[in-house]
Amino acid sequence: MMHMTFYWGRQVTVLFDGWKTQSWLGYSLTLVAVFLFSVFHEYIVNLRSRFKGVSSAKPAPGLTAPLIGRNPRAVGFRVMESAVFGLNAGLGYLLMLAAMSFNGGVFIAVILGFVVGYFFFRSHGEEDNTESPCGCS
């Protein structure tokens, strides 16, 4: 039976039945993995923000629009940007489900990973370009 309230302990099932911890070592490695996934999530959010900055850059004043139409490279860029968005959304939802294990240590590892990731990747005084406050976008 899954926990429906927060609990503290080393025995936790994270995301699927194959990821169960029984020992303190396994629990500690799980917390480190969840922490690193959260940091990586913030890196991906930063990467998406940079892609958005590159794609919304205005051309130089002297340049005109091409006569042929869209640059095929722009389609490839949009495909890559969409793939990064999918990775960002998927990882965000997995982290949400990990936090929903209701284990206090896992929840704290997720939050601390977000905080550390934000500190290293997104708190450098640049404008935050995310459209939604949702953690998955």
The pLDDT of residue 24 is 95
Per-position pLDDT tens, the chain of length 137: 678 888 999 999 999 999 999 999 999 999 999 999 999 999 999 988 887 766 555 555 656 655 555 666 688 888 888 999 999 999 999 999 999 999 999 999 999 999 999 999 988 766 655 555 455 54
Exposure pattern of 90-127 as b/e (b: 16+ CB <10 Å)?
A: ebbebbeebbebebebbbebbeebbeebbeebeeeeee
Predicted local distance difference test score (pLDDT) of residue 38 = 97
